[in-house]
Each structure stands twice: as C-alpha cells, then as structure tokens.
Amino acid sequence: MRKVQTAALTAASLLVFGGYYGLGDALDLVPGPVTVAYADVAPQPFPTPAGPSAKTSTPAGLETGAPMPSKAALTSYVQAVASDAALAGGGVTASVVDVATGEELLDQHAATGVTPASTNKLLTAWAALSSMGPGHTLQTKTVLDGQTLTLVGGGDVLLAEDAGDPTATVGHAGLGDLARATAEQLKAQGATSVSLRLDDTLFTGPQWSGDWEEGNERFVAKVQPIMVDVESAQEEIDSGQRAGHPDDPAMHAAKIFAEHLSEAGITVDGDASRAAAPSGAKELASVSSAPLSDILSVSLKSSNNTMTEVEGRLVALQAKETADFAGASKAVTARLRKDGFDVSGLTLLDASGLAKGNKVPARLLTQILAKAAGDEGGSAGRTLIADLPVAALDGTLGNRLHDTSAAGTVRAKTGTLDQTSSLAGVVTTADGRQLAFSILANGFAANSGSAVGAAIDNHFVAPLAACGCS
C-alpha cells in the first residue's frame, strides 16, 4: 500500500513539474520547442510561374485511319427504309459523306430536290452563321422625337415580358428593363408623358406565306421583328395550353412595353400606333439579345418555325435583299452558292421548311453538314453542329433513338410534314468514322409520319451509328 501511494505521488509530481515546465517553455524562460512569441520570418518573394517545359500541339484533326463503311452496307440500310411497309407509295432520297475526305459514300437519288420539311432549317442556319457570325446580337431600342417615343424592333423575338436574364437565351433581354431605362432618360430630360409608336418596319412584305397550308397557323406566328418569347408561346401551344400566338405579336409587345413605362412613372398618351421612327430621332435606351449561336440552338433544337423565318429575313437584310419571303430565299441561296455549295436542284419558298414546294437535294444537306463538321467549317460550322438536337437527349430528337448506338452519338435536324419525314446530321460510327448523312422520305400515305420516322431510325440511323461495316 505504501508503494502504491509513493508511485501515485511521484506521478502527480511529474505532471505538475511538466505543466510548469511547459509554461516556462512557451514563455521562452526555459529551453524547448514551444513558444507564444511571434516568429520573425522574413517575407519571401512570390514565385514566378514557369511555362510548360514541352511544346503544346494543336488539336488533331479527324482520324483518317478509321475503317470506312462500305457502299454496299449503306445501300442496304437505305433500301431497308424504302421497303418498309410504312413507306408504301413513297420514295426515299439519301446521301452519306465521309467528313474527313469529303467522299460521298451513298448516293440514293441524292441530287434530286424533294420536300425537306424542317431539315430546310439547316440551310437558313448555315447562311445566318456564315453571313452574320455566331456572336451577332439583336438590339431592341427606343428613340425620341419631340414628345413621340418609338419602340424599334430589331429582330429579337425572345424578349422577356419584364426583366431580362443575362444568363439565359430565351428572355435574355427584357421589355421591362427597356421601359425602366427609357423612363430614366425621359425623366432626366424633364419629360413625364409621351405618345408611343411601334416601328416594326425592319421586315417587309406578307407576314404569312401563301405557300403554307391552311391550318399551320398554330405552328408559326406572323413574321414580325419584335415579339415576347415566341419559343415559350410555341411550347405552350404544343402542350395544348393555348389556342395560338397573339394575333399581332409585335403590337402585343408594344402594349406590354407601354404598361412597364407607365409603372416607371411615364404617362403614355393614348394607345400605341405603328409608324417608322423619324430619321433624326435620338436613341434613349436599348437591350441586346443573346448571341446568334445561342439563338440558333433554341430554334434548331425545338424546330421553331417563327424564329427561323425571322433568321431568314435577317440574312436577307445582311445581303441587302428585301426582308420578306422572297428576299430571304434569295439571300440564303446566294450565301450557300458563295460558300461553295452546289445549289442545283434547290427551290426555296421560305426559311423554315413549312412550304411543301421547297425542294432540297439530300446531297446539299450533307455538303453543308460535312463542311460544318470538318476542318473548313470554322466557327460557323462548329456552332451549327453544336446547336443540333442530340439523339435520345434533347430537342426534337429527345424521344428518338433510345437504346441504340445512335443515342448520344448522333446530332441531327429532324423534319416532319404530312407525307414528309427527314433527318440530316452527323454521326461517329462504332468504327470511329465521322459521317454526314441525310435521308428524306416523301409521298407515303397520310398520317404515316411517325411510322416512317421510326423506319428511318431503326433501318438507317441506328445501323449507321453501330456500323462495323467496313
């Protein structure tokens, strides 16, 4: 017992001694590693970053050593589509081009112009990107002449009703923002009331094509240079929530602008009326759209007819043609010819593909896609390919080609009209070969469009993506 007490006292003494010694060490009274004093460390210079020791190389081009699909295999794919029961009474044209070499691997009446439906939008998209550039933006502005304020449409048909969202494409610019900025400028000049005019004279000619079939009103709005979010309006129509677009989309936008102007403290005398802005009017404020590259991503993925018709008119203006159906068709054709595409067999009546009288050769579609995907495509080509719907993922291809080799590997533009079904895009095959393809079916029985689309997917596109057919 005595030994235990002695051991306990010894341990306690050591703990006490250790505690006091640690305190003395911290206060630098006895030797030891612990201290509470600030270390006197001389500042060191910030290191100079060193560049990479090895030279960086430019990205490699397309792999030209990957096996090439055989013409016999590709021909069997398109023949399988043509012989499908859904195609009874109809015909098929098709083209497949190897992107790396430009060689046409499949020619199924590829030079014959046929009704393209919405694959027609590829022509408009290329012409827009090539002539205006992916970074092109559209301005909606206000100008003042005396006591008359004019809202000037510049081609933006994705305007938000109130505040814009700079991170978005749809609703990037807002009518509410424009109204508030305009009100601020008016108040700075001592103005508290104005008469409001709408200038939508950027576009001319008919706002509805005589080449469109009756009943297509629900698929396209009147073609005007200023609208409130035409994409969301179309989505609502497609889902059955609305009866249609506003009867007068441009004036609808002007009325919304007038409401926000009033809320911002500016009295609007009477109703808005239409008139071109006076040449000497002073600009007060403006809002800018998202870049063209983003706008095309919306219109191509959803196959928005109104947006594409607007884009066609913008191409016409760039080419100094009349901003109407005829001018847009002329300008798009001229741009394609200028960029080296063979436009023989091409007939364009609109920009969107709604007109059954449009005639586009399958070869022209693959020419555009092959150039866009290849080394010569530049920023216009890269943008076009990136903006296309992806199989089994988004846009009009979101519900197609699931559980196939094409899922996620095919980017393509769809086309659907009564008795027309088409698809044109690019694919990297299972063998690693990048191909541009187009296939257009026409003249089949009415109401067979869905079955024909499935035949194209199952007999042509999915086997093309899975192709180990060298």
Phi, psi of 232 (to 5 degrees): -65, -35
CATH number of the domain bearing residue 249? 3.50.80.20
C-alpha span between 383 and 371 (Å, rounded):
12
**What does the pLDDT look like over 270-289, one tens digit per residue?**
999 999 999 999 999 999 99
The answer to whether residue 433 is domain-embedded is yes
The whole-number average pLDDT for the span 218-243 is 78
Q: What is the pLDDT of residue 163?
A: 97
Q: What is the pLDDT of residue 345?
A: 97
The answer to whether residue 126 is domain-embedded is yes
Q: Which of 354, 449, 448, 467 is nearest to 410 (CA)?
A: 467
* Domain co-membership, 148 together with 184: yes
Q: What is the pLDDT of residue 244?
A: 67
- Structure confidence at residue 316 as a pLDDT band (50, 70, 90): very high
The answer to whether residue 355 is domain-embedded is yes
Is residue 226 within 8 A of residue 156, CB to CB? The reply is: yes
Q: Residue 46: is its pLDDT beyond 70?
A: no
Q: What is the pLDDT of residue 214?
A: 81
Dihedral over Cα of 417, 418, 420, 422: its sign: positive
The answer to whether residue 407 is domain-embedded is yes
Q: Residue 381: is its pLDDT beyond 50?
A: yes
* Domain co-membership, 123 together with 163: no
- Structure confidence at residue 58 as a pLDDT band (50, 70, 90): very low
Q: What is the pLDDT of residue 63?
A: 61
The whole-number average pLDDT for the span 55-74 is 70
The whole-number average pLDDT for the span 321-349 is 98
- Structure confidence at residue 53 as a pLDDT band (50, 70, 90): very low
Q: What is the pLDDT of residue 84?
A: 97
Q: Look at 294 and 32; give whichever has higher pLDDT.
A: 294
Residue ranges making up the domain that contains 229: 139-290
Decide: helix, strand or coil at residue 45.
coil
178: Cβ–Cβ under 8 A, 6 or more apart, which residues? 140, 141, 142, 151, 257, 260, 285, 286, 287
The answer to whether residue 192 is domain-embedded is yes
* Domain co-membership, 368 together with 457: yes
The whole-number average pLDDT for the span 71-86 is 96
* Domain co-membership, 178 together with 279: yes
* Domain co-membership, 81 together with 155: no
* Domain co-membership, 11 together with 99: no
* Domain co-membership, 410 together with 366: yes
* Domain co-membership, 166 together with 272: yes
Q: Residue 8: is its pLDDT beyond 50?
A: no
Q: What CA–CA distances, in Å, run from 242 to 80, 106, 214, 237? A: 40, 44, 19, 5
C-alpha span between 10 and 24 (Å, rounded):
21
CATH number of the domain bearing residue 102? 3.40.710.10
> Cα 387 from chain centroid?
5
Q: Residue 49: is its pLDDT beyond 70?
A: no
* Domain co-membership, 147 together with 128: no
The whole-number average pLDDT for the span 136-158 is 98
Q: What is the pLDDT of residue 54?
A: 41
The answer to whether residue 178 is domain-embedded is yes
The answer to whether residue 48 is domain-embedded is no
The whole-number average pLDDT for the span 197-217 is 91
Q: Tell me the DSSP string of 270-326.
A: S--EE-PPPTTPEEEEEEEPPPHHHHHHHHHHHT-HHHHHHHHHHHHHHTT--SSHH
C-alpha span between 409 and 389 (Å, rounded):
11
Q: Look at 412 and 65; give whichever has higher pLDDT.
A: 412
The answer to whether residue 121 is domain-embedded is yes
Q: Which of 154, 144, 161 is nearest to 196 (CA)?
A: 144
The whole-number average pLDDT for the span 433-459 is 96
Q: What is the pLDDT of residue 387?
A: 98
As a whole number, the mean pLDDT across the chain is: 89
* Domain co-membership, 193 together with 94: no
Q: Residue 144: is its pLDDT beyond 60?
A: yes
Q: What is the pLDDT of residue 216?
A: 75
* Domain co-membership, 461 together with 376: yes
Name the domain count of the chain.
3
Q: Residue 209: is its pLDDT beyond 80?
A: yes
* Domain co-membership, 154 together with 282: yes
